[in-house]
């Protein structure tokens, strides 16, 4: 079964910045690399609720499901926790409450606002494609691991 995943780009257009997290050295994959707030959908959970829940659990930021817009879709043939593939819906929002903080220090080294002109090179590849595509109005679908 394909794993369903949600990621969120919290985009502060006025300050030209986005929220990113850096995975800890103990993370299940991509240790030390930067990523969007992202997580697996629970059984019976709408994908927008997954996005809202994961963002809150990882960063403390609160967003309303209706503020989310689909920014990108990543279809991976396989993943660390998804031997049968994964489908990540990447949402973007410009509306949130709170300030980002590291709510899961066992999984993440830090959670920060990052200037969109200074996105770290050490970004998870699929996330990098989605984020850069969103920021430049590029392709909205990334295929990963399909021999493309």
**How many structural domains does the chain have?**
1
C-alpha–C-alpha distance, residues 52 and 87, integer Å:
17
How does pLDDT run across 105-122, given as a tens digit for each residue?
999 999 999 999 999 999
The whole-angstrom separation of Cα 16 and Cα 12 is 6
The CATH number given to whatever domain includes residue 124 is 3.90.79.10
d(CA 139, CA 3): 22
Calculate mean pLDDT across residues 6-15.
97
What integer pLDDT is reported at residue 23 of this predicted model? 94
Instruction: Give the model's confidence band at 26: pLDDT under 50 very low, under 70 low, under 90 confident, else very high.
Output: confident
Q: Check pLDDT > 60 for residue 148.
A: no
Question: Which pLDDT does position 121 carry in this prediction?
Answer: 94
Q: Residue 79 in contact with residue 85, Cβ under 8 Å?
A: yes
Dist CA 104 CA 112 (whole Å): 13
> What is the per-residue pLDDT across 50-102, written as a single tens digit (0 to 9) for each?
999 999 999 999 999 999 999 999 998 877 777 788 999 999 999 999 999 99
Overall size of the chain counted in residues:
148
Element (H, E) at 73: strand 69-76
More reliable by pLDDT, 31 or 114: 114
Looking at residue 104, the DSSP 8-state letter turns out to be: -
- pTM of the predicted model, to two decimals? 0.92
Q: What is the C-alpha to C-alpha distance for residues 107 and 78, in angstroms, rounded to an integer?
A: 21
Q: How far is CA 28 from CA 2, 8, 24, 119, 121, in A?
A: 19, 19, 9, 22, 20
Give the model's pLDDT for residue 107.
Answer: 92
pLDDT band at 29; cut points 50, 70, 90: confident
Q: Tell me which residue range forms the domain holding 15.
A: 3-144
Q: Give the pLDDT score at 27.
A: 81
d(CA 72, CA 134): 7
Alpha-carbon distance of 47 to 40, in angstroms, equals: 9
Taking a C-beta distance cutoff of 8 angstroms, is the pair 96, 10 a contact? yes
């Amino acid at each position: 079964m394909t794993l369903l995943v949600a990621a969120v780009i919290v985009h502060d257009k006025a300050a030209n910045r986005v929220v990113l997290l850096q995975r800890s050295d103990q993370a299940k994959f991509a240790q030390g690399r930067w990523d969007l707030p992202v997580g697996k959908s629970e059984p019976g959970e709408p994908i927008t609720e997954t996005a809202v829940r994961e963002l809150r659990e990882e960063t403390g930021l609160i967003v309303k499901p209706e503020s989310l817009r689909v920014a990108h879709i990543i279809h991976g043939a396989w993943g660390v926790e998804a031997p049968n593939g994964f489908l990540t819906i990447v949402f973007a929002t410009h509306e949130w409450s709170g300030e980002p903080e590291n709510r899961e220090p066992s999984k993440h080294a830090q959670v920060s606002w990052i200037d969109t002109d200074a996105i770290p090179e050490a970004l998870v590849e699929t996330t990098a494609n989605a984020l850069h595509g969103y920021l430049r109005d590029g392709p909205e679908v990334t295929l990963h691991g399909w021999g493309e």
